[in-house]
Structure 1
Amino acid sequence: MAETAKAPWLTIVGIGEDGWAGLSEPARQALSSAAHIIGPPRHLALLPPLTGAVEEWPVPFADGIPLLLRQRGHATVMLASGDPFWFGAGSSVTGALQADEWTALPSLSTFSLTAARLGWALQDTVCLGLHAAPLSRLRPHLTPGRKALILLRDGAAVCDLAAYLDVAGFGASTLHVMEALGGPRERLRASMASGFALDDIRHPVAVALVCAGAGEAMTTASGLDDGWFRSDGQLTKRPVRALTLSALAPRAGDLLWDIGAGSGSVAIEWLLSHPANRAVALEADPARAANARANAQSLGVDRLKVIEGRAPDTLPEGPAPHAVFIGGGLSHALLEALWPRLRPGTRLVANAVTLESEALLTHWRAAKGGALLRIELADAAPIGNRQGWKSRYPVVQWSVTV
């Protein structure tokens, strides 16, 4: 005889600014029968008197998870904003639970409400949650005509966003400031980023951005202009970087180790290729490591992890990578230490400029297979009152799949 599935003890209820009136009947029933209700003070204030014990979710958010788990086995409702699984708190909680311990009853997300007010197609709009994230995460999306919906912490963050856009050359952008959507306090106002002067902006707040201006837009192709990166000269230059990224072949969700990262340009472009990608940059020089961190922050991929250390004495810990790039510090000792740590299917790409490094790659290619590519580039340069070709140092690239 089949076992009867037990009912989940936790119900995650998404609540909007319209409070109890906007909840579905199953959500109302869950709240009415709950022995314990936990949520932010703003959400709890939207509810009528209920029979269950009420507890405020603390700040920081992580401190509330142990409080929630203490209720395990007792009918409990957790309140969250709108859709708890779209830039919400839902996944932060369910990661600590078994699949049969919880159920969720979402409401309309702020993104859905914003699109409904403005008539925007959500599938064509960038959606970002920047409550506790840097505004620079918006940078890859700043191109004239692009639309974005952005969740922000408070009114001060909206002013910061306007200033950020203005400094980046997109002061002509329109900001639709949308407060307390879906509730009695709802207010919609619009302003250009340049000269932004809206005040008394109340939480919760979202901004619908229509990007405009003469600021420089980032390309979506591999090979950003070298000028995007702060560097002391230790930089994989644009054409070679584009070929390197092509050989590394980033796929959604992949992890890269960038060894001898210099300014971090390869790891940064790896991260820009897909929002699910991860990267660890290893750099021995503290100043260059600082440049890599600054570049990642300014280009919207602050998730880059930068480790200061020299390979092979230092190699990243944690999960094995899907791809490895050796841009600096290439040696026989490094390859010997690295190779046993790579899983079958890992892509390894190493670039060499010196004759000694080129000989090393030739040796390893003979032993492990893969392909060698010689990259020879030349730039037009003055010769007297005319132009001629000035060759760059050739680069030899070894690419191999373990």
Structure 2
Amino acid sequence: MAVDGPWLTIIGIGEDGADGLSSAARAALDHARIVTGAPRQLALLPPLKAEHLAWPAPFDDGVAPLLARRGEPVVLLASGDPFWFGAGASITRHLAPGEWIAHPAPSTFSIAAARLGWALQHVACHGLHAAPMARLRQDLAPGQRAILLMRDGKAVWDLAAYLEESGFGASSLHVMEALGGPRERIRAVRAEGFELDDIAHPVAVGIEMAGDGAVMPRASGMADSWFEHDGQITKRPVRALTLSALAPRPGEILWDIGAGSGSVGIEWLLSHPSTQAVAFEADPLRAARVRTNAARLGADRLCVVEGRAPAVLEDRMRPDAIFIGGGLSEGLLDAILRLPGGRTRLVANAVTLESEALLAQFHARMGGELLRIEMASVAPIGRRRGWKAAYPLVQWSVTL
């Protein structure tokens, strides 16, 4: 039986099962030929005529079999709101408009906030089913709150340990199991000394943050101490000016060429969750250090490419922004100019006289802004203090 109109109905289902479904969602279930979802979700349904198919793990393995049933009346079950850390967008990106319809239920975040009495617009919300704990790092600050969707009970233990290691062991954890259903249970404990060993799935955790751990700043130019490095790092004041010139915007992509510690690419990613970045680094030890820094600071989506520019840039499209922090040469600049692409903001920093002369030459040829940055910091002179100058730095920024 072919369907005239949407063949796929995505239904958000809560722990109260069919009792919480709308009349439209119930009608879709009654007319479905196939109902698919996690075994736990299928078990929440009343007897139906439709064939039940358990969605496989990993999740992507179920997409092709679903698409193979295109045109038949199919219902896909998802938890709560399918389009908030749910399966909805993972499926609809494979479909054309008009092929699907969705009936969301209240999200776990909404139910959790209602149970705790928290204003959801002021709460950080994360889906950590398959994401590292460090995704939470930028939000850790005393007095702040977060609601997290967790994979299982062990993940809650890992969360408590992560908070304690980060200096936020004094945080209160609200462990919320099977919200909205007959098995619902909420318990409040401290992260430090966490010992709940009977946590049932599905589980969410509300965090009231407390402790004396380091808080990541939101402005550009984090302290150098946040990054592991061997001295090859764009120092904090220069990094702040560099990121200001790069001007990250939502959805944009950065190339960080000669990444060193990865500090510029990482701060680019921390500016907005939709930004992307590729770090190019020729030294394998530094490339490994870039990956470590990115994972620890919650910027694990940083793509690290080992190789020397300009060779490693061949056959690529220019991104929205490019930073040259190491390996600056005429050959590299010419190679970037030859790459296809649209408007690209290019920022290059130079310390040596030869590199300064190169940037002055390209500035005269192409325009843009040429900035000379001179800094000095206080250092001891005997029993007194004086200014110790750093090497002056020249920065060229231009839109290609």
For the criterion TM > 0.5, the same-fold answer is yes
1:33 maps to: 31
1:245 maps to: 243
Corresponding position: 1:80 with 2:78: yes
Structure-to-structure mapping, 1:6-155, within 5 angstroms: 6-155=4-153
Q: In 2, are the aligned partners of 1:321 and 1:342 still within 8 Å (CA)?
A: no
Give the match's secondary structure for 2:102.
Answer: strand
Q: In 2, are the aligned partners of 1:378 and 1:390 still within 8 Å (CA)?
A: yes
Q: In 2, are the aligned partners of 1:280 and 1:316 still within 8 Å (CA)?
A: no
Which amino acid letter does the alignment assign opposite residue 134 of structure 2?
A: S
Which amino acid letter does the alignment assign opposite residue 127 of structure 1?
A: C
State the distance in 2 between where 1:399 and 1:318 align. 21
Corresponding position: 1:364 with 2:358: no
State the distance in 2 between where 1:316 and 1:104 align. 43
State the distance in 2 between where 1:6 and 1:317 align. 44
Give the match's secondary structure for 1:261.
Answer: coil
State the distance in 2 between where 1:216 and 1:317 align. 42
State the distance in 2 between where 1:401 and 1:220 align. 26
How many equivalent residue pairs? 398
Q: Which among 285, 310, 315 is matched to residue 312 of structure 1?
A: 310
Q: Which among 324, 329, 336 is matched to residue 327 of structure 2?
A: 329
Shift of residue 320 of structure 1?
A: 3.4
The runs of at least 4 consecutive aligned structure 1 residues that moved more than 4 Å come to: 316-319
- What do you get for the CA RMSD once the two structures are aligned? 1.1
Shift of residue 345 of structure 1?
A: 2.5
State the distance in 1 between where 2:339 and 2:273 align. 26
Which amino acid letter does the alignment assign opposite residue 301 of structure 2?
A: R
Which amino acid letter does the alignment assign opposite residue 196 of structure 2?
A: L
2:399 maps to: 401
Q: In 1, are the aligned partners of 2:111 and 2:179 still within 8 Å (CA)?
A: yes
2:226 maps to: 228
Q: In 1, are the aligned partners of 2:34 and 2:73 still within 8 Å (CA)?
A: yes
Q: TM-score, normalising length from structure 1?
A: 0.98
Structure-2 change in CA distance of 1:278 and 1:313 (3 Å): same
Q: In 2, are the aligned partners of 1:172 and 1:212 still within 8 Å (CA)?
A: yes
Structure-to-structure mapping, 1:239-388, within 5 angstroms: 239-315=237-313, 320-341=318-339, 343-388=341-386
Q: Which among 163, 166, 169 is matched to residue 167 of structure 2?
A: 169
State the distance in 2 between where 1:382 and 1:52 align. 80
Shift of residue 254 of structure 1?
A: 0.7
Give the match's secondary structure for 1:127.
Answer: strand
Which amino acid letter does the alignment assign opposite residue 292 of structure 1?
A: V
Q: In 2, are the aligned partners of 1:153 and 1:205 still within 8 Å (CA)?
A: yes
State the distance in 1 between where 2:360 and 2:78 align. 58
Give the match's secondary structure for 1:289.
Answer: helix
Shift of residue 339 of structure 1?
A: 1.1
Shift of residue 233 of structure 1?
A: 0.7
The percentage of aligned residue pairs carrying the same residue is 65
Shift of residue 318 of structure 1?
A: 5.5
Which amino acid letter does the alignment assign opposite residue 101 of structure 1?
A: E
State the distance in 1 between where 2:313 and 2:209 align. 41
Q: TM-score, normalising length from structure 2?
A: 0.98
Which amino acid letter does the alignment assign opposite residue 95 of structure 1?
A: R
Offset from partner CA, 1:236-292 (integer Å, 9 cap, x none)? 000000000000000111100000000100000000011110000000000100110
Give the match's secondary structure for 2:337.
Answer: helix
Which amino acid letter does the alignment assign opposite residue 149 of structure 1?
A: I
Which amino acid letter does the alignment assign opposite residue 16 of structure 2?
A: D
Q: Which among 213, 231, 243 is matched to residue 211 of structure 2?
A: 213
> Structure 1 stretches of 5 or more lacking a match?
none
1:391 maps to: 389
Give the match's secondary structure for 2:360.
Answer: helix
Offset from partner CA, 1:28-52 (integer Å, 9 cap, x none)? 1100110111111000000011001
Shift of residue 316 of structure 1?
A: 7.2
Structure-2 change in CA distance of 1:97 and 1:251 (3 Å): same
Give the match's secondary structure for 1:220.
Answer: coil
Give the match's secondary structure for 2:115.
Answer: helix
Give the match's secondary structure for 2:238.
Answer: helix
Q: In 1, are the aligned partners of 2:320 and 2:345 still within 8 Å (CA)?
A: yes
Shift of residue 340 of structure 1?
A: 2.3
Structure-2 change in CA distance of 1:317 and 1:64 (3 Å): farther
Offset from partner CA, 1:91-150 (integer Å, 9 cap, x none)? 110011101100100001000000110111111110000000000000000010111010
Give the match's secondary structure for 1:314.
Answer: helix
Structure-2 change in CA distance of 1:77 and 1:334 (3 Å): same
